[in-house]
Chains A and B, each alone.
Chain A
Amino acid sequence: MQVCPELPSPDFSRITVIDMKTLIKTLLLAGGIGVLTQPATLLAQQFSQLDTTFQSIGNQVCATCHGAYGQGNPVVGGPSLAGLEPWYLRSQLEKFRAGWRGAQRDYIPAYEMQATVSNISNAEIDRLVSEVTSWPEPDPEAYSEGNAAHGQQLYTTCATCHGMSAEGNEALKAPALADRDSWYLYRQLNLFKSGFRGGHPDDVTGAQMRASVQVLEDDQAVKDVVAYINSLN
């Protein structure tokens, strides 16, 4: 029988304020220590009867790369998830699961993401989307190297799908960009340019984007358009 443990709830109203001494006393009195200190082998035996991929997610594997509550962590290449549109989050989880994203192993963060969700079920995607979209949106990390004025000229091409204010357009499968971290936008534009993203033959919308980014001729152009997008936040 498959057991699906609950995903962690990010309900901030449930914060329990407790000082250290009370915590220790409470746990000692309640005899709760035994539950918390179960040996690893016991856990592994339970684990082996589960769908391992789901257990990994239930074990808060997302937070390892994407930060607690999805604020992102550029050091390990994990973008912020909080604030993503539900439809976009769903479509990208599906693309990773199908191997349209992350199948090429030379870009490690996407490859790790692909491996993590390769066996995820539709129901699990539903639950992740509902969890992640309830998280408070962090302030994006701004980027200082680009020329936003030049970026504005370049952005006219982008605006066709992503909107004048980079607000996104679900009908065209174009996500909002304004509230994304600059480091992430810069990296994704480069991944589209090199075909790591949008290079899979079945990824139609990705291929569109891949064709579109070719208007950004050099590294400076990429930085400029990122600087402009960031100014729209």
Chain B
Amino acid sequence: MKKLISRREMLTLLAATGASGLVLRASAALNLVPDTQLARPRIPQADPNNPPTIVVLGAGIAGLTAAYELTKAGYNCVLLEASSRVGGRCMTVRSGDLIDEVGNPQICQFDDAPHMYFNAGPARIPSSHRNLMNYCKELGVDLEVFINENKECYYQDDAMFGGKPVKNTEFTTSARGFMAEIMAKSLEKDQLDMPLDQWELETLMGVVRSFGDLSEGDMFKGSTRGGYTHGGYLDHGEAKEPLAFRELLKSGFLRNALSASEGETGPILFQPVGGMDNIAKGFARKLENRIFYNVLVSSVKLNNSGVEVIYEHGGVKYKLDADYCFNCIPSHLMAGIDNNFPSEYVAAMRYPQRGEAYKSAFQTKERFWENDDIYGGISWVNAPIRQIWYPINGIHKEKGVILSAYDFGGGMAFTKLSQEQRIEAAIQQGEKLHPDYRQQVEKGITIAWHRMNHMLGCAARWPGSRGGANAQAEEMFQTLRRPAGGRHYMIGDQVTKHSAWQESAILSAHWAIKDMLSRQPGNASMPGTPLS
């Protein structure tokens, strides 16, 4: 019997030919490294005399992606948008902008200046989100680095140190020091299950000592990593005393403080210069005559030749026939729009839960955080506001806009409050970090995504979407992703396993386009990856 070649042997063989790019692609195919290839669909140019007609519902990132790619390929696309702006949750709020919350519409009163803006939806682009990065490049959207973890920011928890805020650098230095001391003691007592020789043990001890910056005798006695009490440049520097480990253990922040720059926030993060919605506007520039605003879709019906959409604009109803429909209306709203979809498809639309995320922001009279060595980054507060973000845009200018609350998981605690109560709660909780917060902040705005008009929800929540869905959720997901009648595609981060990221919205549009192409006669995709 022939011996099967191992994966590593095969890669060695490939590498021997010098084709490192090939090795990389082959590695991805064998699931040894994450697939980093761009996944843009290759769309054959449409017949200019008889281009397929496409109606896209919703000018969120997914709808914009679909319309952009298909228009480039010569398809006849129209994009209908319920509100008066592009982007959906890709939303930047500036002076004079409307925040169209049901029952609580606000007009942003920020000063009118390029750096005085607030990204109310997505605000970070990981460099690993290659499709989004690629569109930024292609659409001419200038990027700047976004600071996520900043050791000069704070942790504040009423449960530790009597509620006194602690600098991230002190918090993490002490946590690592004490953990390293415990690890070092365990190693010395030779309690390892794993057999290590003396050299390996010495190497490991070196790692542990370095991890915690241990002093002689493998004790943690403080480290200059946590900052100096005085000196350090012209005079001898004195490291701050270590924080009491028992106090750190009282706070839940100990669980995530050492992993703040991992996962999605591990890569270098970016933000578009001047606001996240520059991405949506970049797409819109390419679709100038194709986007129609203030349109209310009242019916979406499948028929023998495609999809019929009835919509209303300015009190007049219109009927629009298209070969295909790409729909990024939130599925929970689409379920309330007249349709003739199969019942299991409607059931799948109703299945995911509406996201609740909440954000708020203040204009500040001064950039007071900069006097505290804070330039960008996030402070954590164990209160409903959860986080305060300091802007990297507008450094050293007079005023700034800070994020004053971000509840990414829940948000209903704030959503239920009146506007005045939301602002007051944000001030009271912010004062835990910055004693003069109340004097510094002005012109607050709030965004309760659960109540935003035309959306009524943040990112869709599928049960177990990050840890393996249950069988019912998986069936619903697959049903919603497949085209109804072969003609109507739901798109958006709502039909991905990784909702709440713009990259997901883009990938959903790419997936739907590829699926549409594969269903056209003679266009079934070949298995494998094209090599040219």
- On A, residues with C-beta under 8 Å from B are 6, 8-9, 12, 14-21, 23-24, 27-28, 33, 36-41, 43-45, 47-48, 52-53, 55-56, 59-61, 63-69, 71-76, 78, 105-106, 108, 111-118
Q: Are A71 and B296 in contact (CB under 8 A)?
A: no
- Alpha-carbon distance between A6 and B412 when the two chains are bound, in angstroms: 34
The answer to whether A73 and B333 touch across the interface, beta carbons within 8 angstroms, is yes
Chain B, Cβ-Cβ closest to A15 = B317
How many contacting A-B pairs (Cβ < 8 A)? 156
Residue B239 is within 8 A (CB to CB) of chain A in the complex: no
- Say how far B307's CB is from chain A's closest CB, in angstroms: 11
Closest Cβ–Cβ distance, residue B96 to chain A (whole Å)? 5
Cα separation A152 to B73 with both chains bound (whole Å): 62
B240 at the interface (CB under 8 A from A): no
Residues of A within 8 A of B27 (CB): none
Report the bound CA distance from A38 to B86 in whole Å. 11
Instruction: Please state if A65 and B456 are interface contacts (CB–CB under 8 Å).
Output: yes
Given A24-B76, A65-B456, A40:B98 Cβ within 8 A: yes
CA distance A52 to B102 in the complex (A): 11
Residue B141, interface by CB 8 Å: no
- B451 close to A112 (CB less than 8 A): yes
> Does B208 lie at the interface of the complex (its beta carbon under 8 Å from any beta carbon of A)?
no
Having A23-B78, A112-B103, one finds 9 other A-B pairs with CB under 8 Å, namely: A23-B318, A23-B320, A40-B84, A44-B96, A53-B105, A69-B298, A75-B333, A75-B349, A116-B103
Which of A37, A44, A76 contacts B98 (CB under 8 A)? A44
B107 interface hit (Cβ, 8 Å): yes
Whether the pair A115, B102 counts as a contact (CB closer than 8 A) is: yes
The segment from B62-70, B187-195, B225-233, B286-294 found at the interface with A is: B286-294
Question: Is the CB–CB distance between B96 and A112 below 8 Å?
Answer: no
Instruction: Indicate if the CB atoms of A118 and B103 lie closer than 8 Å.
Output: yes
Docked-complex contact B319 and A43, CB < 8 angstroms: no
B residues within 8 A CB of A18? 318-320
CA distance A39 to B84 in the complex (A): 7
Q: Is the CB of B55 within 8 A of A56?
A: no
Given A8-B312, A40-B98, verify A71-B336 contact (CB < 8 Å): yes
Q: Which residues of B contact A61 (CB under 8 A)?
A: 102, 453
- Which residues 282-322 in B have Cβ within 8 Å of A in the complex? 288-289, 291-294, 296-299, 310, 312-313, 315-322
Which residues on A sit within 8 Å (CB–CB) of B454?
64
A20→B291 contact, CB < 8 A = no
Give Cα distance in the complex from A28 to B337, angstroms. 29
Q: How far is the CB of A117 from chain B (nearest CB, A)?
A: 8
6 contacts between A and B (CB under 8 A): A23-B318, A27-B289, A56-B453, A76-B456, A108-B450, A112-B102
What 0/1 readout, one digit per residue, does chain B (44-83) give for beta carbons within 8 Å of chain A?
A: 0000000001010000000000000000000010100011
Q: Are B321 and A33 in contact (CB under 8 A)?
A: no
B350 at the interface (CB under 8 A from A): yes
Given contacts A33-B288, A55-B105, A73-B335, contact A8 B319 (CB under 8 A): no
Residues of chain B lying within 8 A (CB to CB) of residue A21: 53, 76
Q: Is B370 an interface residue (CB 8 A)?
A: no
Q: Complex Cα distance A105/B451, Å?
A: 13
A28, A64, A75: which contacts B453 (Cβ < 8 A)? A64
Q: Counting CB contacts under 8 A, is B367 at the interface? A: no
User: Are the C-beta atoms of A20 and B98 separated by less than 8 Å?
Assistant: no
B53 engages A115 (CB within 8 Å) = no
Given A40-B84, A44-B96, A66-B336, residue A20 in contact with residue B310 (CB < 8 A): no
- Which listed residue (B96, B319, B415, B450) contacts A17, Cβ 8 A? B319
Determine the residue in chain A with the shortest Cβ distance to B112.
Answer: A41
Cα-based distance from A187 to B316 in the complex (angstroms): 35
Q: Does B250 contact A (CB under 8 A)?
A: no
Residues of A contacting B107 with CB < 8 Å?
A: 44, 47-48
Minimal beta-carbon separation of A3 from chain B (angstroms): 15
- A78 and B336 contacting across the interface, CB-CB below 8 Å: yes
Bitwise, B374-396 to A at CB < 8 A (1) or not (0) is 00000000000000000000000
A9 touches B315 (CB 8 A): yes
Contact check, A73 vs B317: say whether CB atoms are below 8 A apart: no
Q: Which residue on B lies nearest to A119, using beta carbons?
A: B103
B321 with A20: CB separation less than 8 A = yes
Closest 6 pairs between A and B when the two form their complex, measured CB to CB: A115-B103, A73-B336, A68-B298, A67-B336, A40-B85, A105-B416
Interface centre among A12, A55, A73, A117 (most CB of B within 10 A): A73
